[in-house]
Structure 1
Amino acid sequence: MNYFLTYAVYVVILSLLMGISTWKLFKKMGYNPVFAFVPFYNYFIILKETKHPKWWALLSYLPIVGPIMMSVFHIYLMKKFGKSLTQQQLLTVFLPFIYMAVVNYSKDTELEDESMNDMFLTEEEKNAKKKDSFIGSITFAVVFATIIHVFVTQPFGIPTGSMERTLLVGDFLFVNKWSYGYRLPMRPVAIPFLQGTIFDTGQPGNPKDDPKSYVDAVKLPYERIFQLNKPQKNDIVVFNYPQDSVHTATDRKDPYVKRCVAVAGDTFEMRGGRLFVNGKPETVLGDQEVQHRYIVTTGSQLDIPSLYNIYGFLPVQEQQTDKGFIYGFQGLTDKVAADIKALPQVIDIKEDIQEKGLAAVFYRDEAKKKIDTTQSIFPINKPWNQDWYGPLKIPKKGDVVAINKETLPEYRWIISEYEHNNLEEKGNQIFINGQPATTYTIKQDYYMMIGDNRDASLDARFFGFVPEENIVGKPMFTWMSLQGAFKDNSSSYQAPFKIRWDRMFKATNTGESNKASYWWIAAMILILFFGWEYFVKLFRKKNTGED
């Protein structure tokens, strides 16, 4: 409810600004000046008077899409009053209510004479009209794509091998944003298609200084609508990285994709690199392959490119010693490990499992005073590592948990970041929102998201629980798959570039080894893309009687 109330306040403010800066213009067009203040109807009148589709007015206040459409409508209005020069259009876009107010209150502002027929236009005027028509078509195409991107589905690329061999490095997916209910946008003023930043400056320093793709000051609270389902065990889920400290907006944090291995109320555990939920071994689905990290010692150098061509994904680190070569292979299945063991150069091969009771803690500096929580096992006060982890109970909405020095590392981010409370420590006492606290009631469900390639995955074992508000949706299908599209930093070998035709337009979230094909969707998109203009022209000819 807070979302829609905040949204309504923004609409009222924008409508007031629109009315104050254009009411005289509406009067000169023959309308009651009050209509300039009426949300949606003010833009409906502009579209009607400038001979554009009137239903576009419905898009005027949508998050992300609305600011684009408003700029277009403002330009239409200014052209109606003869303000069509490039600098005037730029002022309309970047200083809309200021420039429109200048035009509105100017004594010499008059409607442009539109009585001239096209046959009396000069060649320059005809070219300008064609240019406006072309720009209008491009603008609407961008707006249509933005609507799909914001409100329906979002493309997502796989840059790392954490989900091998289920999702490959270089797979590009379409994510269904309605899988777990639609999460409404939290930053309504943003550049379309960009996640968090416009570009990476590449300069040393704080990444928070990189230019943002959204206006952080215009914000809306978390709200999810039509939530008929929640993430279930074994779902592949796209979510926003919880501990992204660069972006304050939840929906602008970096997107991650992992498998949901435990839901709210479950107990998660790793025993010797094997995953257990509620004391039971994990269920391995048809599209999963159990894989582990191996250390291989050889007498001579291995032919890694040939092995890559045979087995596909094979990230490896190579080290030469006086006794031979040592290879660290990430993500070997039992079969691939057996095949490599049988190679004549191999002296020894063993699974790389960390010692039980050895805490995985990393530091930001050599003095070892500041712990790097993004690389350390969560929570940092437990003697756990990625192979021996837990048991850890996943918080559930309504749970009442004890808060003390021992449990605080586990619940700190939940209390202060995910559920937006003021958390303080004073001596041995903990304060939440200024009140001393020994317990805390969890306000939303949390999930454990782990990569299928367990030994090469920065996942919930490092960054902790994933809040429900960070959930984006489920991948639907792979629309493109490019081997070699991303550089794999975990490997000393770069895979050659090629298109994986066999993976394109295949379902990604069924759990089945044989995936359904979605080629018919690709064909439909191509028909719409290339046939749309033809059908529009055909329709116009039929209605105008043109030959």
Structure 2
Amino acid sequence: MRQLLTNKWFKFILVGLLYSLWVLWLGNYWWFIGLAIIFDMYVTKKVHWAFWKKKNPPNGKQTKTVEWIDAIIFAVIAATFIRMFFIEAYTIPTPSMEKSMLVGDFLFVSKTSYGPNLPKTPLSFPFVHHTLPLTQNTPSYLTWIQNPYKRIAGFGQVKNNDVVVFNFPEGDTVATNLPTQSYYNLVRNYGRDRVWSDKRTFGEIISRPVDKCENYIKRCIGIPGDVIEIVDGQVYVNEKAQTPVAGIQFDYIVTTNGSAINKRTLEELGISKSDQQVFSGSQFLFPMTDEQVAEIEKLSNVTSVKRVNMTAGNWDHNIFPFSEKHPWNVDNFGPIQIPKKGQTVPLNLDNLPLYERIIDLYEHHDLSVKGGTIYIDGKVATDYTFSMDYYWMMGDNRHNSADSRYWGFVPEDHVVGKAVFIWLSLDKEKGFPSNIRWSRLFSFVH
């Protein structure tokens, strides 16, 4: 067996077979040229590919330094390959998905669930996303090479209620002093001139490729072709109430008889300190699930629990599509149909706000309106056919989530993968070891 495992032809056949399967999966047959390199590495050995090693070291052994370099290079290549094609680690930084996902959850995201999205920006520093470590705004990538969108085969498609990681659709432009806020929302609220000129407040304005935009995690509420509507906070998909999700929570105003609610009681209920807002000595605002509401109502000093709700017609100007033709808010929204690849929709000035970002930025057409007439690539347009599928993403913390209600559709080329497994969960409000949420370790995402 040892002779077989060390035989050069056996090594070449094994590695060559694995490499060929990868090329077939990739779908780019030019990569078969790599078989010549593999053949030389294991059989002919004409080229010294591992240039950091001595070709014929004394006693056949490399120095400790070379062994460390060899191990590091292998680890970087292997880890990069796994992160790119199979699975990647993420953490939950905000409460937008509570209580399904908690701040401090560390999870694995499967790239194979929907098929790996090949890097659009391949020249980048390993293991970091868009900014170099120990720097504030130095990009970790070079845009000298920009590949077109390509997703290779996976195990399935995005489905309703999947928890999905994706690149922030409005993250293509960033105000460096406010990197977590939408640049487009800043422009709507402060005006483009101020955002670009007031560098003390907003910083430099930079652009990022799709695959280097911030990573977001939300639940997929609507897939291509679905019709989404929100009525008094209840989501309807194709006129049917959304399948219940245990972790969904809303903001509630809790009124007491004048006394405060015991802090330990709130901790036992899972209402974190950062979620607790005090309006007065007798009124508090908590984001809660139905189960938490039922427990709060049992407290002897609680006189009422009322869910926060924005009434229909009360237009929130920060809600997509930012048009008085669609005066929606977080609790009353739509109906709206999720665009599907190949679908053709009529275009007019009333529905153009729904699709202008798709046409102009996601699918890269020259869109303009002159004298009430819509032009696409210089031609009069009365309809439009979509080139990609789109999705509707929302956080389970419905009143505390920046999601599709604020920035619209998520293009298929922004989808990174499916959240599948929590391997560690730490409560930032507690010290070690009580900060470990033991019940969440090694649990699957639902």
Question: Which has the higher Rg, Structure 1 or Structure 2?
Answer: 1
Q: Confirm or deny that 1:506 pairs with 2:443.
A: yes
Equivalent runs, 1:280-319 vs 2, <5 Å: 280-285=240-245, 288-298=246-256, 299-311=258-270, 313=272, 315-319=274-278
For 1:217, the equivalent position in structure 2 comes to 144
Q: Which of 457, 465, 472 pairs up with 2:401?
A: 457
Q: Which of 286, 292, 298 pairs up with 1:329?
A: 286
**Structure 1: distance between partners of 2:276 and 2:266:** 14
Contact 1:315–1:329 (Cα < 8 Å) also in 2:
no
Q: Alpha carbons of 1:426 and 1:201: their partners in 2 closer, same or farther (altered >3 Å)?
A: farther
**Structure 2: distance between partners of 1:46 and 1:282:** 56
Equivalent runs, 1:518-529 vs 2, <5 Å: none
Q: For the aligned residues, what is the CA RMSD?
A: 3.1
Q: Alpha carbons of 1:345 and 1:409: their partners in 2 closer, same or farther (altered >3 Å)?
A: same
For 2:5, the equivalent position in structure 1 comes to none
Q: Alpha carbons of 1:199 and 1:354: their partners in 2 closer, same or farther (altered >3 Å)?
A: farther
Q: Confirm or deny that 1:231 pairs with 2:158.
A: yes
Identity of aligned residues (%): 39
Q: CA shift at 1:129, angstroms?
A: 2.4
For 2:87, the equivalent position in structure 1 comes to 153
Specify the code of the residue in structure 2 equivalent to 1:405.
L
Q: Alpha carbons of 1:301 and 1:228: their partners in 2 closer, same or farther (altered >3 Å)?
A: closer
Contact 2:365–2:377 (Cα < 8 Å) also in 1:
yes
Equivalent runs, 1:86-165 vs 2, <5 Å: 117-118=58-59, 129-165=63-99
**Structure 1: distance between partners of 2:237 and 2:360:** 27
For 2:194, the equivalent position in structure 1 comes to none
Question: Any stretches of 5+ residues in structure 2 without a counterpart?
Answer: 1-25, 174-206
Specify the code of the residue in structure 2 equivalent to 1:182.
P
SS in 2 for 1:183: coil
Q: After superposition, what is the alpha-carbon deviation per residue over 1:393-448, rounded to whole angstroms, capped at 9, x for unaligned?
A: 11111111222322121101111111121222334222212222221111111111
Which 10-residue stretch deviates more, 138-147 or 352-361? 138-147
Q: Confirm or deny that 1:357 pairs with 2:313.
A: yes
Q: Confirm or deny that 1:380 pairs with 2:337.
A: no
Contact 1:295–1:328 (Cα < 8 Å) also in 2:
yes
The structure carrying a bigger helix percent of its residues is 1
Specify the code of the residue in structure 1 equivalent to 2:352.
L
Q: Alpha carbons of 1:150 and 1:5: their partners in 2 closer, same or farther (altered >3 Å)?
A: closer
Q: Alpha carbons of 1:347 and 1:496: their partners in 2 closer, same or farther (altered >3 Å)?
A: farther
Q: CA shift at 1:151, angstroms?
A: 1.6
Contact 1:6–1:220 (Cα < 8 Å) also in 2:
no
Contact 1:275–1:282 (Cα < 8 Å) also in 2:
yes
**Structure 2: distance between partners of 1:200 and 1:403:** 47
Q: Confirm or deny that 1:278 pairs with 2:235.
A: no
Q: After superposition, what is the alpha-carbon deviation per residue over 1:492-521, rounded to whole angstroms, capped at 9, x for unaligned?
A: xx4666111221112214xxxxxxxxxxxx
Specify the code of the residue in structure 1 equivalent to 2:320.
F
Which 10-residue stretch deviates more, 462-471 or 291-300? 291-300
Q: Confirm or deny that 1:178 pairs with 2:112.
A: yes
SS in 1 for 2:291: helix
Contact 2:84–2:116 (Cα < 8 Å) also in 1:
no
**Structure 2: distance between partners of 1:333 and 1:508:** 18
Q: CA shift at 1:244, angstroms?
A: 0.7
Contact 1:291–1:454 (Cα < 8 Å) also in 2:
yes
**Structure 1: distance between partners of 2:397 and 2:38:** 52
Q: Alpha carbons of 1:314 and 1:268: their partners in 2 closer, same or farther (altered >3 Å)?
A: farther
Q: CA shift at 1:118, angstroms?
A: 4.9
Following TM superposition, where does structure 1 have runs of at least 4 consecutive aligned residues deviating by more than 6 angstroms? 4-8, 46-52
TM-score of the two chains, using structure 1 as the length reference? 0.64
Contact 2:279–2:285 (Cα < 8 Å) also in 1:
no
Q: CA shift at 1:5, angstroms?
A: 11
**Structure 1: distance between partners of 2:403 and 2:295:** 29
Question: Any stretches of 5+ residues in structure 1 without a counterpart?
Answer: 12-37, 58-72, 81-113, 120-125, 203-209, 362-375, 485-493, 510-547
Q: CA shift at 1:281, angstroms?
A: 0.8
Q: Alpha carbons of 1:389 and 1:402: their partners in 2 closer, same or farther (altered >3 Å)?
A: same
**Structure 1: distance between partners of 2:43 and 2:138:** 38
Specify the code of the residue in structure 1 equivalent to 2:445.
T
Q: After superposition, what is the alpha-carbon deviation per residue over 1:66-95, rounded to whole angstroms, capped at 9, x for unaligned?
A: xxxxxxx5655xx77xxxxxxxxxxxxxxx
Q: Which of 402, 420, 438 pairs up with 2:346?
A: 402
For 1:255, the equivalent position in structure 2 comes to 215
Specify the code of the residue in structure 2 equivalent to 1:503.
R
**Structure 1: distance between partners of 2:420 and 2:278:** 40
Q: Which of 431, 445, 467 pairs up with 2:375?
A: 431
